[in-house]
Amino acid sequence: MFTLKEKVTEKLSRLLADSPSPSPRPLPEFPQANSYFKGGKTLSSLFTYIHPSTPIKDSQSELKTIQSSPTRWRSNNLWQSQNIDCELEAIPSDECREITMPENENSKPATRTCAYEVFEDTHEPQSPWKLMPNLTNDSSFINMELYEFLQASLPNIVKGCQWVLLYSTLKHGISLRTLIRKSADLSGPGLLIVGDRKGAVFGGLLDCPLKPCPKRKYQGTNQTFVFTTKYGEPRLFRSTGANRYFYLCLNDLIAFGGGGSFALSLDGDLLYGSSGPCETFGNLCLAQDPEFELKAVELWGFTHSSRYLT
């Protein structure tokens, strides 16, 4: 009986040994995630699921890298890996941005600039005549600096008045007699502005209308002055009180000052002039040279009347 039992056991052992081993159970789709949620040993499996190429270490400290196909996020709160559209934010006016211009053979290297500077460059520069609102006509000599200087130097009685061009050699011809005749269009202070061929601008304040005298008889008041731009910026010379030689007006000569030499004199043809130091104004030479050739001559009057506005 015992012998039969041993034989049966032996046969069963042989049968079990010869039978094929059972096939292994398939692994779950995400083993790392499952092991995490079921109490896995570490969080590295979860990181591996999020980023498949993240290197991890197993329990034997061996470095492994799990390779898998790229994963695309489908959550509405995350960016898609394709065709990401972003709206451009408004650029603050005081913020600088790098503006890259396309490069070619004729272009210059890109430079760093400010966005608001790009928009400012598109604006038209303001006309210089808009900055000189009282000037009703174009001038060969008056710029913004000289305009502000003379405006501040004028007598109070004409400050704020409109500037009217009574005479110009470019418009009315070259003649002192014509200048004297045109000065009668307005009464009050008049501003004579002339220039030489070397770039100096100078002149003086006198009274209109001009009244030629048969003899050398000085006219004017202590409000008369002379000025020049020869010394880099406008410079004014007022009466020193040494004498009353303010200005002369003859049919063939107009001149400012006296005592030593004329501060400024113009001939009857308005082609040549002279300038030098005089006691009346304590001035230096107003022109680039004591004897000079005239470039142009202008006479300006002042009025509140709209009759002369253009």
- pLDDT at position 252 over 70: yes
- pLDDT at position 58 over 60: no
Distances (CA, A) of 261 to 77, 237, 278: 91, 15, 5
**Which residues, in sequence order, are CB contacts of 248 under 8 Å at separation 6+?**
213, 216, 217, 218, 219, 254, 255, 256, 258
Residue 26's pLDDT band (cuts 50, 70, 90): low
Average pLDDT, the chain: 75
Across the range 34-44, mean pLDDT stands at 45
Residue 122's pLDDT band (cuts 50, 70, 90): very low
Q: Comparing 114 with 157, which gets the higher pLDDT?
A: 157
Across the range 20-25, mean pLDDT stands at 54
Write down the pLDDT at residue 123: 44
Query: What does pTM read for this prediction?
Result: 0.59
Residue 142's pLDDT band (cuts 50, 70, 90): very high
Q: What percent of the chain has pLDDT over 90?
A: 51
Count Cβ neighbours within 10 Å for each residue of 222-258 and write b for 16 or more, e otherwise. ebbbbbbbbeeebbbbbbeeeeebbbbbbeeebbbbb
pLDDT in tens, 76-100: 443 344 444 444 444 454 444 444 4
Out of 82-86, 210-214, 277-281, pick the least confident: 82-86
Judge contact between 283 and 265, C-beta under 8 A.
Answer: no
Write down the pLDDT at residue 17: 64
Residue 32's pLDDT band (cuts 50, 70, 90): very low
Residue 143's pLDDT band (cuts 50, 70, 90): very high
Write down the pLDDT at residue 307: 64
Residue 309's pLDDT band (cuts 50, 70, 90): low
- pLDDT at position 33 over 60: no
- pLDDT at position 7 over 90: no
DSSP string for the chain:
-HHHHHHHHHHHHHHHHHSPPPPPPPPPS-HHHHHHHTT-S-SHHHHHHHSTT-EEE-TT--EEE----------TTS--SS----PPPPPPTT-EEE-PPPP-SSPPPP-EEEHHHHHHHTSPPPPTTTT-TTB-S--SS--HHHHHHHHHHS-GGGTTPEEEEEEEHHHH-S-HHHHHHHGGGS-EEEEEEEEETTS-EEEEEEEES----SS---B--TT-EEEE-TTSS-EEEE--SS----EEEETTEEEE--SSS-SEEEETTSSEEE----TTTT----SSSSEEEEEEEEEEEEE--GGG--
Give the domain ranges of the chain. Answer: 29-68, 144-308
